[in-house]
Amino acid sequence: MKIYQVDAFTSEKYSGNPAWVSIIEEFPPANEMQNIASEMNLSETAFVKKIWDDSYEIKFYTPEEEIDLCGHATLSSAHILFENNLITGDVVKFKANLENVAVKSVNSNYAMDFPLWKYEKIDDINNCESNTWIKDTLEIYDTSIKWKVVILKSKDELINIQPDFWKMKGSDYWNVVVTCAWDEEYDYYMRCFVTDCWINEDPVTWSIECFLAPLWGEKLNKKKMKSYQCSSRGWEKTIELMENRVNISWEAITIFEIDVIK
């Protein structure tokens, strides 16, 4: 079994968001895939199995557990399939646990098409502040999956927060996107914390745009936006909202490949 390390959402090595990708004929037992992901110890490892021409089933594992959908591991998987000439057309379709998604090869970029997820504003500031490090919260939103969205007043507050990951884990706020309003350069900023999988802060996150982009799109009355993820690696995103979908185009680069001993 070969496994590839890919840096997604970047054209430069050792930047963007890294993932492991393994293209396989049959899925190994779940405990073996979990053990491989734990051994590789990146935020996500993707296992990809061909269904029929240009269509694949995909499974995602963190070092701790299987998850239903991951943006950067999807992009990384598409990159490996295209790079190894395993796709006959310009679109690869993935069947994931949560959603079916597609990735199109456009010159040196990949355009990912993901669903929009629901969100609703909640009155939960006291609970939020008692279970996290976050203060002076403006608004809180719950989502149709396991994320909370916390809106702060300024970019300075966003950059300077210091998470208490131990306190967050197991609370109502174990997966949190913290975001703030736009300025002259970007429409919105965010940081992403994923304590249920012990990722803590994810450097580059695509899947959160399934609810974050429509939230800010509604606030700003925009379909096309630029955002910035304020992590150690940093990431600028250009996003387009379509009917019931969100689209983003970016690059990926293979770092190396290894053989996994069975």
Q: In the chain, what is the greatest distance between 2 CA atoms, to the nearest angstrom? A: 54
Backbone conformation region of residue 51, classed left if phi is above 0, alpha if psi is from -120 to 50, else beta: alpha
Q: Which of 25, 32, 44, 120 is catalytic?
A: 44
| Cα 24 from Cα 33, distance rounded (Å) | 11
Annotated active-site residue 44? The verdict is yes
Displacement of CA 111 from its chain's centroid (Å): 14
Displacement of CA 25 from its chain's centroid (Å): 25
Position 141: which residue type? Answer: Y
Sign of CA dihedral 42, 43, 48, 54: negative
Catalytic (active-site) positions:
44
